[in-house]
């Protein structure tokens, strides 16, 4: 018997019992994939952690200390950690654009309060109550509103009474960039809230934000670390194209450190549709928030947290009905109906519903991929489940081969080799792949073993005899999404 030893040489003459260990056959079953989520976002100038430095986030309040209270990235870290307290999460900050402008908005007050109460302001989902006393003038209330806003450092804006119009409060985003235009301002969001008699409030939406950060340093900081899920708050074309190119490189067979970027787009149904139709990316998933109170970067963070947690449990199981923890829904009048949501699902935009208790729930999580290279409809990468399942299958195949055959020789089938030799043949690899398929089938990730077996090709490369080429046809398990039933009754 010619046993292949890894460490014991064949020319030993010194008497002793030499025993080595070989772990190539120690691991059985499908592998556990430890997944990591990376949150991209803007920090505030002068914050503790510099841009381009990945930081592990283990607590909901950690982002505020690291990237500045009221920063985009602080809100993202808090939202994701509240939605997913278990998974491994990292944050990577980018600086605000070198050129550009911060978004601004206004709160215009008028009248004199005829009754006591409060102004129920809601800013990016944060309640900002302002006390109102009988006789308060618009100028008094403006001062009080500005003070209440500035007292909440977690808000993404600062406030100041207009020097010329002292009954108006000027709001300014804490950072420069287009993203500041998505900061939501509203009054009396909840049904039991109302403005005291005699007081009138007019909200001027945030606007004027300009500029997008340079993502090149952040993308370079990703290195060759495997980030399975990313949170992307930037929806401008330049940022999306740069991130798309990086994700495609990671998806390819030479790197195999694939990841999916989650994002959200705020606006009307038409605006969401227009955005979805402007992209065609299978490694991006974008949910349309409508006119929801919270910022799209918060929605993207919650979406990534929920998806990462549940896809880590089972990549093939659909995510429909899962609660998007911590998110406030749009007002009832602003919610999209079924035909509108169905249209968005053909435009590359993921959708949500709102249950009777006001909880936002995921309806269908899809990618931005819609068409093939010829511009024809192509559902091959429609669902995020497909991407997640393919990623896991590739990881399972790779780890099975590298774990069981790390330093083996390669020979043709039929070689007369002694037992114990570290040698593989096409038949041995074929048998291993069939065994792995049955394990994946048991986990509910693939189906139709007989078709897989009959079409599996394993052969030595004709030009490189050290290389084994494999062609396989995995039939992925699908998701139960639609039930159609015609009842033909008799009276």
- Quick: pLDDT tens for 257-267: 999 999 999 99
pLDDT given for residue 431 in this prediction: 98
pLDDT at 192 over 60: yes
pLDDT at 1 over 70: no
Q: How far apart are CA 426 and CA 412, in angstroms?
A: 7
Q: For the domain 102-207, what is the CATH superfamily, name and number?
A: Baseplate structural protein gp11, finger domain (3.90.1160.10)
- Region 123-130: mean pLDDT is 98
The tokens for 65 are: 């200390």
Phi-psi group of 389: left, alpha or beta (phi > 0 → left; psi -120 to 50 → alpha; rest → beta) = alpha
Q: Which is nearest to 339 in space by CA: 262, 273, 263, 266? A: 273
pLDDT given for residue 261 in this prediction: 99
Residue 142 parent element (H or E): helix 138-150
- Region 273-296: mean pLDDT is 98
Instruction: Tell me the C-alpha to C-alpha distance, in Å, between residue 62 and each of 12, 80, 90.
Output: 58, 12, 11
Q: What is the residue extent of each domain of the chain?
A: 1-30+407-491, 40-95+213-387, 102-207
pLDDT given for residue 268 in this prediction: 98
pLDDT tens-digit map of 81-96: 999 999 999 999 999 9
pLDDT bin (cut points 50, 70, 90) of residue 167 is very high
pLDDT at 353 over 70: yes
Average pLDDT for the chain: 97
pLDDT bin (cut points 50, 70, 90) of residue 21 is confident
pLDDT tens-digit map of 446-461: 999 999 999 999 999 9
pLDDT bin (cut points 50, 70, 90) of residue 345 is very high
- Structural contact between residues 142 and 149, judged by C-beta atoms closer than 8 angstroms: no
Tokens 């010829």 correspond to what residue? 374
- Structural contact between residues 54 and 105, judged by C-beta atoms closer than 8 angstroms: no
- Region 11-24: mean pLDDT is 86
pLDDT tens-digit map of 290-301: 999 999 999 999
pLDDT tens-digit map of 399-447: 999 999 999 999 999 999 888 899 999 999 999 999 999 999 999 999 9
């Amino acid at each position: 018997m010619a046993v292949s030893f890894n460490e014991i040489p064949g020319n030993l003459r010194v008497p002793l019992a030499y025993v080595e260990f070989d772990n190539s056959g120690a691991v059985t079953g499908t592998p556990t994939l430890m997944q990591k989520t990376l949150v991209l976002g803007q920090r505030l100038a002068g914050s503790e952690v510099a841009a381009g430095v990945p930081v592990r986030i283990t607590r909901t309040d950690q982002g505020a200390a690291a990237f500045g209270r009221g920063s985009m990235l602080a809100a993202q870290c808090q939202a994701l950690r509240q939605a997913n307290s278990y998974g491994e999460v990292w944050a990577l900050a980018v600086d605000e654009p070198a050129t550009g402008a911060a978004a601004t908005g206004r709160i215009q007050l008028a009248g004199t309060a005829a009754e006591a109460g409060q102004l129920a302001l809601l800013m990016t989902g944060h309640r900002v109550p302002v006390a109102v006393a009988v006789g308060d003038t618009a100028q008094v209330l403006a001062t009080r509103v500005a003070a209440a806003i500035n007292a909440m450092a977690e808000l993404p804006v600062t406030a100041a009474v207009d020097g010329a119009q002292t009954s108006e409060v000027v709001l300014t985003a804490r950072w420069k960039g287009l993203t500041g235009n998505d900061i939501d301002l509203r009054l009396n969001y909840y049904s039991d809230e109302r403005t005291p008699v005699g007081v009138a409030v007019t909200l001027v939406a945030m606007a004027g934000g300009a500029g997008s950060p340079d993502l090149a340093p952040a993308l370079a900081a990703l290195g060759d670390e495997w980030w399975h899920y990313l949170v992307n708050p930037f929806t401008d074309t330049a940022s999306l194209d740069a991130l798309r190119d990086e994700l495609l490189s990671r998806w390819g067979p030479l790197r195999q450190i694939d990841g999916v970027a989650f994002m959200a787009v705020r606006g009307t149904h038409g605006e969401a549709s227009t955005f979805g139709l402007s992209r065609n990316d299978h490694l991006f998933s974008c949910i349309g928030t409508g006119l929801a109170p919270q910022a799209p970067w918060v929605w993207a963070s919650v979406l990534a947290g929920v998806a990462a947690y549940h896809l880590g449990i089972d990549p093939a199981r659909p995510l429909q009905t899962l609660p998007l923890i911590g998110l406030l829904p749009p007002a009832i009048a602003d919610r999209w109906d079924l035909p509108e949501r169905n249209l968005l699902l053909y435009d590359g935009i993921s959708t949500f519903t709102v249950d009777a208790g006001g909880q936002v729930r995921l309806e269908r999580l899809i990618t931005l991929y819609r068409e093939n290279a010829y511009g024809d409809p192509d559902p091959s990468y429609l669902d995020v489940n497909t991407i997640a399942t393919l990623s896991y299958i590739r990881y399972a195949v790779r780890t099975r081969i590298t774990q069981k055959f790390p330093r083996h020789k390669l020979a043709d089938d039929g070689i007369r080799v002694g037992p114990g030799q570290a040698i593989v043949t096409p038949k041995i690899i074929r048998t291993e792949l069939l065994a792995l398929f049955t394990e994946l089938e048991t986990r509910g990730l693939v189906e139709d073993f007989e078709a897989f077996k009959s079409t599996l090709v394993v052969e030595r490369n004709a030009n490189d005899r050290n290389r084994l080429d494999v062609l396989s046809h995995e039939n992925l398990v699908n998701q139960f999404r639609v039930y159609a039933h015609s009842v033909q009754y008799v009276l």
